[in-house]
Amino acid sequence: MMENAATAKSEYKKLTFLTAKKDRSLCLEHDKSGVILHEQGYRDESTTFNVGTDSEATRECKHAVKQAFKREFPRSHKVYVSAVK
């Protein structure tokens, strides 16, 4: 679900992952320019990926999402998911 949301063909406009305490989050938001990855917790930053035109950018986005997930949820067994189609 998380990796597929990082592609241009995703059915979700916004996908948010939250910890059980809801103090850290990871959000994937689809925009006209591509996919925006918002991290809140250990890092507070946003990164934009132009996944619609290049397969290399899609791979880079998927890798960044995996790394951010590992960073924000290192030992979490419960992750809340909020999806907007």
CATH fold of 4-84: Dna Ligase; domain 1 (3.30.1490)
| CB-based contacts of 23, cutoff 8 Å, min separation 6 | 41
Closest CA to 72 of 43, 37, 38, 35: 43
What pLDDT does residue 30 have?
Answer: 87
Whether the per-residue pLDDT at 9 is higher than 80: the answer is no
Closest CA to 49 of 59, 38, 35: 35
Whether the per-residue pLDDT at 3 is higher than 70: the answer is no
What pLDDT does residue 83 have?
Answer: 87
What is the token pair recorded at 84? 């907007």
What pLDDT does residue 57 have?
Answer: 82
Pick the more confident residue, 25 or 8. Answer: 25
The residue ranges of every structural domain in the chain are 4-84
- pLDDT tens digits for range 28-83: 998 887 889 999 988 899 998 888 766 788 888 889 988 998 988 888 778 898 98
Degrees, nearest 5: CA angle 29-76-28:
5
Region 17-25: mean pLDDT is: 89
